[in-house]
Homo-oligomer: A and B are copies of this chain.
Amino acid sequence: KAQRTPPADLNEREAMRAYYLTVRRDSEALAAPLAPEDMVVQTMPDVSPTKWHLAHTSWFFETFLLKPHAKNYRPLNETYDLLFNSYYQQVGPQWLRPHRGFLSRPTVAEVMDYRAYVDGAMLELMEEAGAALWQKLAVLITLGLNHEQQHQELICTDIKHVLAQNPLSPALYTPPGESASAPALSWSEFGGGIYEIGRDMDPAGFSFDNEGPRHEILLRPFRLASRPVTNGEFRAFIEEGGYQRAPLWLSDGWNAVSEGGWQTPAYWRRADDGSWREFTLHGEVPLDENAPVTHISLYEAAAYAEWAGARLPLEAELEVAARGLPLEGNFLMPQRDGGAAPIIHPQAVNMSAASAAGDGPQQLFGDVWEWTASSYSAYPGYRAPSGAIGEYNGKFMCNQMVLRGGSCATPHGHMRATYRNFFPAAARWQFSGLRLASDL
């Protein structure tokens, strides 16, 4: 039976090794339904080929664990440093990001060899490290596995973009099941005052550096919608001319609509009979009116909120609402042993699960990342760690907006109430949606 969660105590080496293998195997399982040809293609600079993700996550372990800490470790191929460094300036030069799709070599098989090579060295290192070294390693391994999980999500969203460009509309993975009815929208109220947000001081649980320091913030009374906006609701916005009414939009958003020719969320398509369809990882299917709208930019989220007479929530508001709730939701599936194959698509909120969770907002975790009105910036007192590892999060704190809650492509076990995801306001290829908020 696989170790599907990190050990509670980082000193349980065997559990850690088992968990390492689980996460690494999960990435490979995600790639399993793909042909080698699928894994090479890059359809826009934001998208990386699947095999690049598989190699880059291995390079991460090689760079931050094996090279500094594994005696006698010899890299499999010196050129991989150039090819698979994503953005760590302090490590060395990087292959131009928009040219990742120029690389037919290493082949998928060679990348798999690279993964096996790194895994072999990692297992050996985990076994042989002395106690003092292990303390360091355990932290870095945990980081590396969380990094790998982030790329599992990107494998899903990137390959979806690749397949969506193809007029053959390839269908992979498991089809989404039947759609439940979305419950009617209601609101939950939250009082104003000083709250603490940010990661706990408990050293056992992992969190990214950008989730801290924990600090006080001042909120005004607010309310949050009981669930994300659905496709059906968003269709009403479209039908009332939402994409044609400049006053609803941020200035940059209106430019994006005009230049991009946006008329709907990404991946929506109109059938000859006028019905709406959407491209999913299972191919083109009828649009599910009850499921949360997804693949929208911050601009579309903000325009919808304006149209609905509401606003986007602050990231702190979502954190306040989410903390204490069970970390459950429609997450990426390979984590369940013997469970069903992954359905990598948002689903309408499950009513029975919802009632079990009480009266508060539903679906705060999973299905779709929720855009917030908060720009991604440093928490008070935040300092990036020193060294190359410090480039992980801090240097992106400009020109991006925070999203909260995880999506159907986020690995189970990777989410937290304090988790801060971030993308530029125009990004649409992630599973991004929105929940309405307003002042009291």
Which positions in A face B, CB cutoff 8 Å? 35-41, 43, 51, 77, 79, 82-83, 87, 89-90, 95, 99, 101-108, 162-163, 165-168, 170, 194, 215-218, 220, 246-247, 249-254, 298-299, 302, 373-375, 377-378, 380-381, 390-391, 395-399, 401, 425, 439
Contacts and interface: CB of A to CB of B under 8 A. Distances in A.
Given A38-B105, A40-B41, A102-B165, 11 more contacts: A35-B36, A36-B36, A37-B40, A37-B105, A40-B40, A87-B251, A105-B168, A215-B220, A251-B396, A374-B377, A375-B375
A283 to B, nearest CB: 11
A247 B90 contact: yes
Nearest to A159: B104
> Max chain B CB contacts within 10 Å: which of A77, A90, A246, A299?
A246
A106 B166 CA distance: 9
Contacts of A391: 247, 251
Nearest to A314: B380
Nearest to A248: B395
A166 B395 contact: no
A89 B254 contact: yes
B107 A298 contact: no
Nearest to A219: B380
B380 A439 contact: yes
A90 B246 contact: yes
Contacts of A373: 377-378
Nearest to A299: B398
A154 B104 CA distance: 18
A167 B90 CA distance: 21
B165 A108 contact: no
> Max chain B CB contacts within 10 Å: which of A90, A104, A246, A381?
A104
A254 B89 CA distance: 10
A123 to B, nearest CB: 27
Nearest to A87: B251
Contacts of A51: 37
Contacts of A35: 36, 104-105, 107
